[in-house]
Amino acid sequence: MKTAALVSLAPLHTFGLDTKAQRLLAISDLSQLHALNDKPYYILGEGSNTIFLEDYEGSVLQVKLSGIEVQQHEHHFDVSVAAGENWHALVQKLMSAKIFGAENLALIPGTVGAAPIQNIGAYGVELADLCHSVQAIDLQTGEKLSFTNSECLFGYRDSVFKRQEMSESLITAVVLRFPKGRPVSAEYGELKLLGPDPSPYDIFNKVVEVRQHKLPDPRVLGNAGSFFKNPVIANEHYLLLKDSWPDIPGFRVGGEQTKVPAAWLIDRLGFKGKTIGGVACHANQPLVLVNKGNGTSADLLGLARQIRDDVLAEFAIELENEVRLVGEKGLLRL
């Protein structure tokens, strides 16, 4: 286990705010967890969905577990992946091995271990559609835990792993199941342009192309991806909004709710390109807030709260942050 004291967190999260942690612990082997006695701690993968707003008073536990194991069965593949593996690199390896089903989730940043926490999703597919089980360990007792798909309680950008009782559990591996001959999912967004019978490779290439065009590279311009969740509202609320905003897009969720793109709401209010200090709404995708290099926590919170408040005032919709915001003692509310 590699350790370092009083560590800058700027290079450890993709938004890149200049904050620090008391200690960094890099875990590459489960046996190292027996020596863990630092509290409090924050579990971190690649920092692509976390923004450290303040100096963190505890230890940051960086997951570096690695390894991929593929088991082929008559009708499906089971792929067990260690939590520290990069998600997009995994998707690339699956495509090379002709194991299809994850292509819609190409180029999503972060680690495999972070994927079930957020129930990552894009272009009509979520991690919940692929996940067979999740392996974890209780950092206090050392007990090994296993969660079936249903026990993960997956929801929209949500899972059981976000709950307080799971805050001291570390995801160690995720088992993904891919049925052979599974039909592709090409009914969402730009994928419709691929025609009537796209291949998994067509979908993979289109998703990568679109994401590279729309979303800034965090290595060039600091960001944590989509800052807000797409809100889900009652159908009646959506129909009322459509009277005033006929072009407002919406996607039915179940029978009684509609998901509205947060980017549309933010863009309609003129936030695209808006800047406060060193933080701005990205010019191509206003759902992404970017650090222009000198951004501060105050800049970020000022812009994010202005967006949230203006959307609430205009559309009676309360946006929730998708990004995890971390303060001195742990997670913060926007």
| Selection from 195, 77, 67 nearest residue 130 by Cα | 77
Tokens 């946006």: give the residue.
Answer: 319
* Residues forming the active site: 157, 226, 322
CB-based contact 137:172 (threshold 8 Å): yes
CB-based contact 103:207 (threshold 8 Å): yes
| Selection from 102, 276, 286, 82 nearest residue 179 by Cα | 102
The per-residue b/e assignment along 70-103, b for 16 or more CB within 10 angstroms, e otherwise, is eeeeeebbebbbbbbbbbbebbbbbbeeebbbbb
CA distances from 299 to 19, 54, 229, 315, 318 (A): 14, 13, 20, 24, 20
Provide Rg for the chain, Cα atoms.
Answer: 20
DSSP-assigned beta bridge partners for residue 275? 280
